Structure 1
Amino acid sequence: MKNISYSIATFVLLTLIGCGNKNNSESTSEEVKGSGIIITQDQFDTNDLILGSLEQRTFPKMVETSGMIDVPPENRASVTAFMGGFVKKTPLLVGDRVKKGQLLVVLESQEFVQMQQDYLEVFNQLDFLRTEFERNKTLFEEKIASQKNYLQAKSNYETAKARYQGLREQLQMLNISPNKVEQGTIVSEAAIYAPIEGSITKMNVSMGSYVSPAMEILEIIDNDHVHLELTVFEKDILKIKKEQKIHFKIPEASDETFNARVYLVGTSIDDAKRTIKVHGHLEKEEGNFLPGMFVNALIMTDTTKTWALPAEAVIESEGTAYVLKLIGKTDSNYSFERVAVTQGNTYDGFTEVRGTGLNETDQFLTKGVFDLIGG
């Protein structure tokens, strides 16, 4: 059965080589002897086959995890209204870029008018109440007025002053100028401005819709600083340390591997899931990452040195990994033996290899193995 398998592999290789070198077909003969694979020097040269030996390589020990792209809390803003109102103006759409302080939404409400009227009323009373308080204080100190009148005047003034300050703060929260109200200018509209710079990611209102104080009008996210928010299981928690390297991919968007480092390790475990949060900073913030993107990540917790071959030298066939070991060489032929090995991790183009009878002086075919023994 082994000879039949090797004959099939030989036929495949002869077909591939013959197609690329029809004018020199007489020099592309291959033989199978015993358990070996014979390759001629012409075949070796024509197909750019390469020999190599075992190398001591450093392989990282990895913790597999997953998570998502996120932004710091200060880079995410949920915009709400301090008072309810109807949307009168909203010039923005999802995806629009806004600057800090830029107009987002204009609300209109009768409540805004009433608040300004109340403020103006208190403002106009304040001077009178202060004068009354100061007059009664003087009379009380001179024992002319009663303590009751003095305390009543003080209470009236202090109450009005507190209401004045409270209404003034509320108007400023609505971006309505108290100074203009004091001059008699009353408006029915209140503007909402961007608290941060960023892009609109959610828009939950439209023209004429009513906005309540608890409702999120829109969301702004600044993508200038994104980070990784990973979830690590309890069994791996003690292996994770600050500054460890992270390799991650966005499986739904790209096959490219990106780099990051552990920045913070959570200090409490999720009781239900038995996991902990790990915060990672990207080494280069490029790639158009968006908050919410799912990531698969490997955290490098330690390293170990072991024997390895280029990844291309190890081929898996029918559930078993094989390499082609050079067992003989003449001026015209190379003889290879298919050797079963145990493969470990693959990193930086090399694969860990463990097998009986392998040593550092052995030579292996490191390029073209797939064409000979298949996958």
Structure 2
Amino acid sequence: MRTILYILPFLILFSCSHKASEEESTNNNLIEISKQQFEAEQMELGEIQLMTFPSKLYFTGYIKPNTNGWAKVGLPVEGIVQQIKANLGQAVQKNDPLFVIGGNQFIDLQQKYAESNARLSQLKADYNRVNLLYDENIGTEKEYITAKSKYESELAKNNALKMKLENIGLNVNRIAQASLYTSYTITSPIKGYITNMEATIGEYIDQQEEMASIVDTEKLRLQIIAFEKDIMSIKVGQQVEFHSSGKDEVALATISLVGRTVNSESKSIECYATIEPEYLDKFINNQFVEGEITLSSDTVAALPTDAIIQADDLSYALLLENETDSSYLFQKVNIQKGRSTKDFIEVKNKIRSGKIVTKGVYNIVVD
């Protein structure tokens, strides 16, 4: 009987020790924070929210004018630069003067037209006379065909010379009276800014040379360099956010054209986006930019970035378990992070509902 009484206290002690060990193990994920500390750290309680997260595609690209916003200036008739009336970087309107051109070729063209005009009058008179005789069966068919052929041939030549001179902006009636111009003026074909100037006074310019280029900044667009693997995700109408390299200010655009040809060297495809008008004056031609295309968006569970505690490669949040007069008891829960914005992080794993510390966890250390 005495032996049994000795053993019983040991059994009770062992049982209590085991129960305390289980309780300690159960509380391994619990963190106690006093209300005084909670207020001092400016902590806040909240809940998991439903947030819209976009799926985005990063890109690089350039600012380029559209097809009607860029012009190269050349000469309709080769000649010598006599005056330059605009400067590199200058804003010009359509039909503003750019260059004054002279030279023998220009004078020769006027001379040919004046001579052709005089010859055409003579050939027309001859043709009308022979045609009248032929209608009255006096002239021969051969004379009629010859006169008609000479007249129509000279008429075609005269019309071609006339069109060339009118394209330069000259009064052909004046030239027909042998009153020739000593020079002609090249004007801007569009409004915009002069982005290239290749002419100098006294220089001879032929018809193949580019004298200047003009870009209309109101018709700039975003050229996006996309890779072949991403092209099927890009659609007309998608929203684009972009900025120049090294700057944080974001501009907006909308996809307007998706390319269908792969560059054999870079394996990329060119796409274009229309820039919102209020951002056009913030960029210049050929400027390098980078940004993101919003491919799609969906609504998911999310927490503020300030609610996440980082410990090594893992992420945690604090879920409220109990509250006393003097403290809060939180459970440490693992967070599987997904997409992120500036202020929120997607929570990919399911977390039971409850209050979560959404702010002020930066000083909390978890094991």
CA distance in 2, matches of 1:38, 1:104: 79
Q: d(CA) in 2 for partners of 1:325 and 1:210?
A: 82
What are the equivalent positions in structure 2 for 1:180-195 lying under 5 Å apart? Answer: 180-195=174-189
User: Is 1:115 paired with 2:115?
Assistant: no
Alignment deviations for residues 318-369 of structure 1 (CA, whole Å, 9 cap, x no partner): 55545455565444445666655332211363111245x73331402x3334
- Kept in 2, the 8 Å contact 1:226–1:285? The answer is no
Mapped contact 1:59–1:304 kept (Cα < 8 A): yes
1:266 aligns with 2:259: yes
How much does 1:114 deviate? 0.7
Alignment of 1:246-325 (within 5 A): 246-252=240-246, 254-286=247-279, 288-314=282-308, 320-325=314-319
TM-score, normalized by length of structure 1? 0.80
* Structure 2 stretches lacking a partner, 5+ long: 1-26
Structure number with bigger Rg: 2
The residue number in structure 1 matching 2:233 is 239
Query: Who is 2:83 aligned against?
Result: 89
Tell me how far apart the structure 1 counterparts of residues 109 and 278 of structure 2 sit (CA, whole Å): 47
The superposition leaves residues 191-230 of structure 1 with CA deviations (integer Å, 9 ceiling, x where unpaired) of 1111111111111222222322111111111111332221
CA distance in structure 1 between the aligned counterparts of 2:31 and 2:360, rounded to whole angstroms: 13
Segment drifting more, 231-240 vs 106-115? 231-240
1:367 aligns with 2:359: yes
Q: Report the TM-score when normalising by structure 2.
A: 0.81
Deviation string for 1:86-115 (max 9, x for gaps)? 221113222211111111111121100111
Letter in 2 for 1:256: E
Q: What letter corresponds to residue 291 of structure 2 in structure 1?
A: A
> In the alignment, is the contact (CA less than 8 A) between 1:242 and 1:262 conserved in 2?
yes
Distance 1:92 1:337 in 2: 74
Q: How many residues align?
A: 339
Assess, with a 3 A threshold, how the Cα gap between structure 1 residues 79 and 372 changes in structure 2: closer, same or farther. Answer: farther
Structure 1 residues 184 and 316: alpha-carbon distance in aligned structure 2, compared to 1, 3 A threshold: farther
SS of the residue 1:128 aligns to? helix
> Tell me, which stretches of 5 or more residues in structure 1 are unaligned?
1-32
Conserved? CA contact 1:97–1:198, under 8 Å = yes
Q: 2 CA distance for matches of 1:75 and 1:316?
A: 51
Q: Which residue of 2 aligns with 1:75?
A: 69
Aligned-pair identity in percent equals 29
| Partners of 2:309 and 2:364 within 8 A in 1 | no
Q: 1:60 aligns with which of 45, 54, 58?
A: 54
Change (3 A) 1:360 1:207: farther
Are positions 1:154 and 2:183 aligned together? no
Counterpart of 2:95 (choices 81, 98, 101) is 101
Residue 4 (structure 1) aligns with? none
User: 1 CA distance for matches of 2:317 and 2:174?
Assistant: 85
Cα RMSD of the aligned pairs, angstroms, is: 2.8
SS of alignment partner, residue 218 of structure 2: coil
* More deviation, 205-214/186-195: 205-214
Distance 2:38 2:66 in 1: 56
Task: Give a deviation string over 1:157-212, Cα, whole Å, max 9, x none.
Answer: 11211111111111122222212212332123121111111111111222222322
